[in-house]
Chains A and B, each alone.
Chain A
Amino acid sequence: MSLVDLMSMAKPNLETRDRVLSRLKTKELVNCYQCIKCTSGCTALKLLELKPHEIMKLVNLGFVDELPTSDIIWTCATCLKCVQRCPQKASPYHVIIALRNLAVEKEAKVPETYLKIVSQILETGLAEPPQKIVTKKMETVDRECLQLPKIKAPKESFQTAFMKAMEER
């Protein structure tokens, strides 16, 4: 191997890199020239230390082995600011999603919240469950007392389709 990271003695894994790239619609999405605009504006950077430009560079160099198992890829808030602002029409967001899918494929540790969301979608068909809210008059109300119709559980065909889509990913 012609390239070694002397800090961790890690070597690039071009095979995994190709698997990430194959998940992206165009190679343009990793074509980054490190202007750092994505990281400067990253919603997840201040609290969670997500540096999208670093992920782009690691993928480009082929240092991808640690990424699917690291927690950092799950910190992305998917606000899509990086996609919109990138002057090279690259997309750290799409790369991060590809890495997340790779993590699931490798059966790496997926944060519980995500698993919760998945099971919730399967059960209710909603990513966000109906919540109680507080009105201006400080009354707590829910759908029932507002006489809104009950949300029906999704059909079985939806669940099958959803599971199938997840497996295909």
Chain B
Amino acid sequence: MARIGVYVCHCGLNIAGVVDVTKVAEYAKTLPDVVTAKHYTYMCSEPGQRLIQDDIKADKLDRIVIATCSPRMHEETFRKAVAEAGLNPYLTEIVNLREHVSWAHTHEPEKATEKAKALVRMGVARARLLEPLQKRKVSVEKSVLILGGGIAGIQSSLDLANAGFKVYLVEKAPSIGGRMAQLDKTFPTLDCSACILTPKMVDVAKHKNITLMTNAEVTGVEGFVGNYNVTILKRPRYVDAKKCVGCEACTKVCPVKVPDKFNENLTERRAVYVYSAHAVPKIAIINPENCLRLKTKKDVCGKCQTVCEPKAINFEQQPESVQVKVGGIIAAVGSEVFDATRMAELGYGRFKNVISNMEFERISDASGPTKGKILTPKDGKTPKTIAFIQCVGSRDKRFHEYCCRVGCMVTLKQAILAREKIHEPVRIFICYIDMRAFGKGYDEFYRRARDMDIDFIAGIPSEIHGTPDGSLHFDVYDKGTNKLLEIHPDMIVLGTGLVPNKDLERISSLFHAARSADGFLLEAHPKLRPLESAVAGVFLAGACQGPKDIPDTVAQASGAAAKAIDLLSSGEIELEPLKAVVDKDLCSGCRICESICPFVAIEMKTEKVKGEERLRADVIEVVCQGCGACSSACPTGAIKIQQYNNKQVVTQVQAALNETCVEGGK
């Protein structure tokens, strides 16, 4: 005979405002085996928890049913409270009266109360069959893999390395630094981006706890939280990293010229090149798709080899596969900038003087194509009129519905930079929908731009026109003056937003990490667990989780590092016991569960039974996530999820269907 206690939570007025909690508690008392039933304003509060604990001791309760919010919210809280009172924490059953009842049926209080009663009845029926379970402990690897060497990856790496953890930082590009390395100044303080970033880049390269792998990518992830086996492919640089001194002699003789991606294709680089002026590591790399010798696989050119004094050029280098063991993973792969050619009406790609805001950064940067002078890309002249157009590709259902979160501030910064750098008279227009200056010091920055005689036009042009002489113009209706204005700018900068990295598709499948509707990686909870993915041990940092500016990215990166430290610092972790278990006598070895398991947690083993060899499924406990797919697919009922076995679930269903069938399973 079980001794069950039922506790109904008001959740302030969240539940009690709709459901008659007194009636539900009274009803619970009539159910068999229920020794006590109470209701209280906030069960999760300290007095609420104590109420349960006192009853466990006084009434010798051995099963607890709590009718409250979603188990995702407080199941862990109540399990802990129950455990403190000396009861096995897995003898607790949560009934969801908030998300499933009061919030869903706000306007039908009577029916809602009936539904609440039914759910409590089901909970009590199931609680009777609960079995005590024990958590398992496994040791963890005290090292972390960080994907992406932008400012997010750099910050996470340094935080973890300084805390004494081993870090493997994997970057796809030949240098770390990411998007931030391409920027000129940063809002809202106008710090020079390189001045604040490069010292951190150097720190990463020098840190004894950080293994930096550039020009590399992760190709395989196996294992589970605390014990991941990661395969990293190091692509050949064709330059010996130990010999190259970064003198750039090779880049001067190479005959192949291709657009330079770092300069947003505004300049050209050679087939052998150093990624950027501040590259870390500052060593040359040969792109095999550009290099004449590597492309043709013939003994041609080789000019770089002849000029290289330290003899660093090596055309024979091969890709190398590296295996590392890590306890946690931080995804910090960043985002990309919207490709404005997709928005045909703006003429980007057709008109040379229509540029993206990333191109403006390179033009404004001292190490960029114009050495920091603001000049038009088409004719290299100082513009007399510049127009910025906001929300290109963002807040647009045709492309990306979300706000890019950086576009307004980027444009304000670039307008200020243009005003400061151009010493001749220049008119600056910003065409916007809403000016979003939401962060610390951001509205003051907006004010600063207004003080600098920048014209704000509340309206977006429909299209940009080009004339045969190369000049540009557009019409825009201004909300403030109710006038249709015609503007003839010499340069138009598009406020292109941030979009999900193309690599995210591959990365999300590599880690089983889900993506949200906007294409970015999905956090475990939008408010309370923004730094974690739903996969245990995989954390998120920076713009791969959603568009973000530098302050937010750095904050999230440090947060993700702290989360990883939290996971790994004790050297061992507890695993939930809600796993699949196989009844070996029932298993027919049909392998359906093996094919269906999304986590590859099922291993087929051959066993000898009475001299006969038989195939049996076996669950790798640490890999199993307890999703239950195998259990519902198993034709013989041999594989079960602990705490959710057939008997427990069927009893609950019976209790739902039949008010009198409350005995359940007896």
- Which residue numbers of A lie inside 8 Å of B, CB to CB? 33-42, 45-46, 51, 53, 81-82, 85, 87-89
Q: Jot down 15 A-B pairs with beta carbons below 8 A, ordered by A.
A: A33-B433, A33-B434, A35-B391, A36-B433, A36-B460, A37-B459, A38-B462, A39-B484, A40-B475, A40-B476, A41-B475, A42-B462, A45-B484, A46-B484, A87-B391
- Do the beta carbons of A35 and B433 come within 8 Å of each other? yes
For residue B83, give the distance in angstroms from its CB to the closest CB of chain A.
51
For residue B457, give the distance in angstroms from its CB to the closest CB of chain A.
9
- 10 tightest A-B contacts by CB? A41-B462, A36-B459, A87-B396, A39-B477, A35-B433, A89-B397, A37-B460, A40-B462, A40-B477, A35-B460
A53 to B461, CA, bound (A): 13
For residue B419, give the distance in angstroms from its CB to the closest CB of chain A.
25
- Do the beta carbons of A81 and B391 come within 8 Å of each other? no
**Most chain A beta-carbon neighbours within 10 Å: one of B391, B462, B479, B484:** B462
- Do the beta carbons of B345 and A34 come within 8 Å of each other? no
A41 to B463, CA, bound (A): 7
- Other-chain residue from A36, A87, A88, A89 in contact with B477 (beta carbon distance below 8 A): A36
A33 to B459, CA, bound (A): 11
- Other-chain residue from A40, A45, A82 in contact with B460 (beta carbon distance below 8 A): A40
For A81, the chain B residues whose CB sits under 8 A away are 462
- Other-chain residue from A39, A46, A85 in contact with B345 (beta carbon distance below 8 A): A85
Q: State the interface size on chain B (CB cutoff 8 A).
A: 21
A39 to B462, CA, bound (A): 8
Contact with A along B380-396 (1 / 0, CB 8 A): 00000000000100011
For B629, the chain A residues whose CB sits under 8 A away are none
For residue A163, give the distance in angstroms from its CB to the closest CB of chain B.
38
For residue B476, give the distance in angstroms from its CB to the closest CB of chain A.
5
For A45, the chain B residues whose CB sits under 8 A away are 477, 484
- Other-chain residue from B397, B459, B479 in contact with A87 (beta carbon distance below 8 A): B397
In the complex, what residue of chain A is closest to B474 when comparing beta carbons? A40
For residue B420, give the distance in angstroms from its CB to the closest CB of chain A.
29
- Do the beta carbons of A35 and B463 come within 8 Å of each other? no
- Other-chain residue from B397, B459, B461, B476 in contact with A88 (beta carbon distance below 8 A): B397
Contact with A along B434-472 (1 / 0, CB 8 A): 100000000000000000000000111111000000000
For A38, the chain B residues whose CB sits under 8 A away are 462
In the complex, what residue of chain A is closest to B400 when comparing beta carbons? A87
- Do the beta carbons of A39 and B463 come within 8 Å of each other? no
For A42, the chain B residues whose CB sits under 8 A away are 462, 477
In the complex, what residue of chain B is closest to A52 when comparing beta carbons? B477
- Do the beta carbons of B462 and A85 come within 8 Å of each other? yes
- Do the beta carbons of B484 and A41 come within 8 Å of each other? no
- Do the beta carbons of B462 and A37 come within 8 Å of each other? yes
For B459, the chain A residues whose CB sits under 8 A away are 35-37, 39-40
For residue B28, give the distance in angstroms from its CB to the closest CB of chain A.
44
**Most chain B beta-carbon neighbours within 10 Å: one of A38, A40, A45, A85:** A40
For B350, the chain A residues whose CB sits under 8 A away are none
For residue A80, give the distance in angstroms from its CB to the closest CB of chain B.
12
A46 to B485, CA, bound (A): 11
- Other-chain residue from A34, A82, A85 in contact with B433 (beta carbon distance below 8 A): A34
For residue B73, give the distance in angstroms from its CB to the closest CB of chain A.
33
Known: A36-B459, A40-B477, A42-B462. 4 other contacts (CB 8 A): A35-B391, A42-B477, A85-B462, A87-B397
For A33, the chain B residues whose CB sits under 8 A away are 395, 433-434
B527 at interface, CB cutoff 8 A: no
A33 to B397, CA, bound (A): 12
